[in-house]
Amino acid sequence: MKRFFLMSLTLLGMAFSASALAEKADADKPTNIEANQMAYDDLKQINTFTGNVVLTRGTLLMKADKVIVTTDPAGYQFATLYGAPGAAASFRQKRDGGPDLWIEGQAGRIEYDARTEIAKLFSNARLKRLDGSKTIDEVEGEFISYNGSSEFFNVANSTSGASTPGSGRIKVIIQPRTAKGQ
């Protein structure tokens, strides 16, 4: 059981260690997970946490009703977070580049690919860049793709990731920048 638990923590740690969503210092921090239940399939390399899942690693905080972590044959990890019915999965993490810069997001489902460092948010997706508690930029749509290494956003009005006529609108709020280089 102890080996199983350590293997589970190692898998989750590897899933988020290369994350550009993460502050670089987070890569050296242990991953802590709390949940109501955990199941691990060694043959398929799938680790499933259910019930009020809280994952922390350094400044990274992820919350979901269910988190599934899979490992491909090359050793890359993929995490999928699911919100409970009527609730969203969420993450918050410090960004490099300043003393109090953050990124936070929420959606019905969040997929994170450690190999590409891309987070995809599906269904009622919201993403905010923060300086302390002040919102710098905010985007909303049915789908958001966020590349943490380049801080590139792609927002669409349907969960397919494509803009679909009649599927609603996206919303972007960009705060004015000051001359101090904010």
Q: How far apart are CA 27 and CA 17, in angstroms?
A: 4
Return the half-sphere exposure (C-beta side, CA atoms, 13 A cut-off) of residue 53. 28
User: Where do the domains of the chain lie?
Assistant: 2-174
- pLDDT, tens only, 95-153: 888 889 999 999 999 998 877 878 899 999 999 999 999 999 899 999 999 887 787 88
Q: How far apart are CA 81 and CA 63, in angstroms?
A: 8
**What is the model's pLDDT at position 28?**
66
> Model pTM?
0.79
Mean pLDDT over residues 73-79, rounded?
Answer: 84
Residue 142 contacts residue 160 (beta carbons within 8 Å): no
Q: Is 168 left (phi over 0), alpha (psi -120 to 50) or beta?
A: left
Q: How far apart are CA 30 and CA 13, in angstroms?
A: 7
State whether residue 60 is helix, strand or coil: strand
State whether residue 92 is helix, strand or coil: strand
* Percent of all residues in the chain with a pLDDT value above 70, rounded to a whole number: 81
Q: Between residues 67 and 77, which one has the greater pLDDT? A: 67
157 pLDDT above the threshold of 70? yes
Mean pLDDT over residues 24-32, rounded?
Answer: 67
For 107-135, b where at least 16 C-beta lie within 10 A, e where not — what string?
bbbbbbbbeebbbbbbeebbbbbbeeeee
Residue 64 contacts residue 53 (beta carbons within 8 Å): yes
The set of residues, in sequence order, having a beta carbon less than 8 Å from that of 133 and lying 6+ positions away, is: none
Mean pLDDT over residues 2-14, rounded?
Answer: 39
66 pLDDT above the threshold of 50? yes
Greatest Cα pair distance in the chain: 57
159 pLDDT above the threshold of 50? yes
Class of domain 2-174: mainly beta
Name the burial class of residue 74, with classes exposed (0-12), middle (13-18) and buried (19+) by CB atoms within 10 angstroms of its CB.
exposed
